[in-house]
Amino acid sequence: MINFHDWRFSKLFDTELGKELWEMLNRPEVVGRLKEASYYQRAAVDAVTEEIEDSFGKRLEKTGKVKQYKRMIGAMIKNILQKEGFEHVRSDVRCVRGTLFNRGSAYREREEK
């Protein structure tokens, strides 16, 4: 598993919830869904929104920091996809699954130069 380093979210990441989110997002089947969403030019987070809601929704709400965790999840997904050879292409892509995320970022595979 790759390491997540983003100073903006170091306190959140160091929580039990932050580490569990990172582990879930790095599971091979989850990375595959993130990549698949990217191939179809969908928001990557849309591919995992329902799983995040089912597994972590109540715990996220109890923290009182849902917005901060959502931003961290987006940064985690960006980090994972960059390591997989993808680049950010669009922000503000509409999410259609679940209710936690309304918008997310789309990625595409980096072109070899």
How far is the C-alpha of 69 from the C-alpha of 21, rounded, in Å?
Answer: 9
CB 43 within 8 A of CB 104: yes
88 CB-contact burial (10 Å; exposed 0-12 / middle 13-18 / buried 19+): middle
SS3 108: strand
Q: Given a cut of 80, is residue 48 above it in pLDDT?
A: yes
Give the C-alpha separation, 8 to 80, whole Å.
Answer: 17
What is the total count of domains within the chain?
1
Residue 98 lies in a domain: yes
pLDDT at 43: 97
In a domain, residue 3? The reply is: no
Does the residue 86 lie in any domain? yes
Portion of the chain with pLDDT greater than 90, in percent: 88
pLDDT, tens digit, for every residue of 51-91? 999 999 999 999 999 999 999 999 999 999 999 999 999 99
The per-residue pLDDT for 112 is 74
Q: What is the SS3 assignment for 112?
A: coil
2 within some domain: no
Domain for residue 100, yes or no? yes
Whole-number average pLDDT of the chain:
94
The range of the structural domain enclosing residue 78 comes to 8-109
Whether the pTM exceeds 0.75: the reply is yes
